[in-house]
């Protein structure tokens, strides 16, 4: 299990009510499951439309259970936005 930071942007930040929080998880899937448990409701819906960067690299279409998280890493949660 690794520890790092999840950063929320735009609509994800608004839905979470915070800009960032720590994670303790081995994979992106585990980290997102913990986020859903901590923030039920709107953030769970927003996450369905988000893309993710792991330490600056796009996750793309890879299964979240296959995306390993690094100690001290960063998960960027990027909802779709107009003009981008």
From the CB of residue 33, how many other CB atoms can be counted at a distance below 10 Å? Answer: 13
**Token pair for 30:** 């585990």
Is residue 82 over pLDDT 80? no
Is residue 50 over pLDDT 90? yes
- Per residue in 31-41, pLDDT (tens digit) is 999 999 999 99
The reported pLDDT for the residue numbered 80 is 86
Is residue 81 over pLDDT 80? no
Cβ(1)–Cβ(70) below 8 Å: no
Share the mean pLDDT of the chain. Answer: 94
- Per residue in 53-62, pLDDT (tens digit) is 999 999 999 9
């Amino acid at each position: 299990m690794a520890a790092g930071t999840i950063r929320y942007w735009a609509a994800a930040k608004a839905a979470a009510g915070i800009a960032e929080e720590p994670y303790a998880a081995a994979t992106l899937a585990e980290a997102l499951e913990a986020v859903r448990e901590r923030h039920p409701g709107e953030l769970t819906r927003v996450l369905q439309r988000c893309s993710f960067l792991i330490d600056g690299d796009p996750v793309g279409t890879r299964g979240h259970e296959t995306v390993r998280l690094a100690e001290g890493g960063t998960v960027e949660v990027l909802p779709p936005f107009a003009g981008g």
